[in-house]
Amino acid sequence: MLLKYSVSNFKSIGHNIEFSMFPLENTENDQFLTEVNTEAGKMKVLRRGAFFGPNASGKTSFVKSMDFAVSYVLEGPISNSFTRVDQFRGNIEELDHLTTFQFMILVDKQVYTYGFSLDRYYVHEEWLGILKGTEFKLMFERRTDEAKKTFITINSAYARANSKERKLAELLAESIKEKQAGHLFLKKLAENGSHKADLIYSWFSNIRIIYPNSTLQNWPFIVQSNKEFRDFLSHNLNAIDTGIQQISSPKEMKLVDFIEMLEKVKISAEIIKDIESIGRGTVCIDGKYYHFSDDRVWQIKFEHLLNGQKIDFNIEDESDGTQRLIDLLPILFKQETGENDNLIFIVDELDRSLHTKLTKYIIKNFTDLDDGRQLLFTTHDVDLLNLDVFRQEELWFIEKTVNGETRLKPFSDFDLSASSDIIKDYLAGRFGAVPVIKEGV
C-alpha cells in the first residue's frame, strides 16, 4: 500500500509537495478506513484520494510525477547520458537543479521509505529505509559525485554483516561505474537476486496509471483469456445501461494470415515489420482495432440488441463514455485468486466523458471491495465534494501559486464547522483551487 508520496522540481511542481494516505491522528470515525497489521504495529490507512483543482493547476503534473518515478524504478533511464526528467522551468536555487521523489510504502507487513534525487544527467542520491519501532533505519544509502563516481553504504538494517544478502549487495555496490550513474541501485539489487530489494521493486509494478487518452490498455488480452473477467465486464456494462449485452471475441486468425491481409490492403512494410517484431500489442487499421499475441490475432466484439436483433459493434463504434468505462471498470475487477488485491490505480480525470452517476458508481463499487487496493484520481466533478461519500482527509486541492508552482493542500486543513454548503463554498473560492477569470483581459 502507498502511505506517503512527495516530489519536488518536476514539471509545474517546484518546492516539495507531500501527499499522505494516513487519516488524522485524533479521528474516531473509521468510515472508509482500512486497518493493516505491520511489524511496527497496527496502522489505519486510507484507500482513496481525490484531487480537485482548475485547469492548468498541476493535477496532471502530479500524476505524471508518479508515472515518471515508477517508470524510472522499473525501467531505468532511456540512455546512459540523460535521465529525461522534466524539471520546473523557473529555476529555484535552493533545489540545486535536483528532482526528488520519495515513497513511504507498506510491503509484506513492513513499512519502508524509498527515494532518489536526480538531475537531467544522473542519479545523485538514493536511499532505502525500514521502520523499526518509531523511527526509520537506513538499509542502504547511495551518493554519486560530480565525477559520476558512486558511493554506497550497506547497513545492518539491510542484512547482517557477512551474510549472503549483505555480501551480494556490497559486491553490486562496487560494480556501479560512471556509465551507470543514471541507474538505480534498487533495480540492480532486484535483478541480481536480492529478495529484500525485489519486494520493494515489485511493489512499483503494482501501480496502474490511467490518463484521459489511455485506450485499450491491457483489457483485450484479459478478455480473451479470462472468462471471469469477460463476464464481469459484460455484466457491468449491461447494468449501467450502455446498451451492451455481452462481450465476445470472434474467431481468431493466425498472425501470418493477418500479415497477408495487411499486405493486400497495402499497409506499409514498416508497420508490418513492427507487428511481427513486437509479438504482442494492438494495432488500428482503417479505424478498426486488432489485438495480436502468441501468433494469434483477434477483435473484441460488443453485442447490442437493436430492434430485436443481436448486432456486433467494434470498440471504435462505441461512444467516448463507453470506451472510458471499459478502461476504468477493470479497477473494480476482483480475481478469485486474489492476484490483484494490492494494486494501486492512479487515474487522471476520472470523470472524463462520464456522467456524475457513473463516476460515483465506480467510486462506490471500489469502496465496497474488501482488499488492499487503492484509488487516487483527479477530477473536476464538484459533486464529489461530499462528506457522505468521502472523508475530509481523502480530499485534496491543487492550485498554482503566484510564482507558477503547483501547491497541494489537504481539505482536512479547513474548519468546516461554519460551512453549510461545501460545494457552494468551494465554488466561491473559500478553499482555493478554482479558476480565476480575469474580466476585461
Grid cell of 239 as nine digits:
447494468
User: Any idea what the CATH number is for the domain that residue 395 is in?
Assistant: 3.40.50
- Closest-CA residue to 124 (of 148, 103, 88, 104): 148
pLDDT at 337: 65
Domain count, the chain: 1
pLDDT tens per residue, range 156-172: 999 999 999 999 999 99
List beta partners, residue 306.
309
pLDDT tens per residue, range 95-118: 999 999 999 999 999 999 999 999
Q: In which domain, by residue range, is 26 found?
A: 1-206+342-441
Residue 440 lies in a domain: yes
Percent of the chain with pLDDT over 90: 75
Using an 8 Å Cβ cutoff, are 390 and 381 in contact? no
Helices (H), 106-180: 164-174
- Residue 132 pLDDT > 70: yes
pLDDT at 216: 62
Interatomic CA distance for residues 373 and 109, integer angstroms = 15
Residue 412 lies in a domain: yes
Residue 24 lies in a domain: yes
Interatomic CA distance for residues 58 and 13, integer angstroms = 7
Residues recorded for the chain: 441
Sheet order of strands, 406-410 included: 207-210, 344-347, 374-379, 48-52, 395-400, 406-410
Q: Predicted confidence band at 153 (pLDDT cuts at 50, 70, 90)? A: very high
Residue 232 lies in a domain: no
Residue 181 lies in a domain: yes
**Residue 279, φ and ψ in degrees, nearest 5:** 90, -35
Q: Predicted confidence band at 439 (pLDDT cuts at 50, 70, 90)? A: low
Look-up: residue for cell 542519479? Answer: 123
Mean pLDDT over 2-25 rounds to 96
pLDDT at 271: 87
pLDDT tens per residue, range 207-220: 999 999 876 678 88
Residue 88 lies in a domain: yes
Sheet order of strands, 301-306 included: 244-248, 301-306, 309-313
Q: Predicted confidence band at 441 (pLDDT cuts at 50, 70, 90)? A: low
Mean pLDDT over 174-192 rounds to 95
Sheet order of strands, 150-154 included: 17-20, 2-8, 99-107, 110-118, 123-132, 135-144, 150-154
Mean pLDDT (the chain) is 92
**From the CB of residue 225, how many other CB atoms can be counted at a distance below 10 Å?**
12
Straight-line distance from the first to the last Cα atom of the chain, in angstroms, rounded to the nearest whole number: 46
- Identify the weakest region by mean pLDDT among 23-27, 242-246, 358-362, 409-413: 23-27
Look-up: residue for cell 471498470? Answer: 329
Residue 293 lies in a domain: no
Residue 324 lies in a domain: no
List beta partners, residue 105.
2, 112
List beta partners, residue 42.
37
Look-up: residue for cell 498541476? Answer: 58
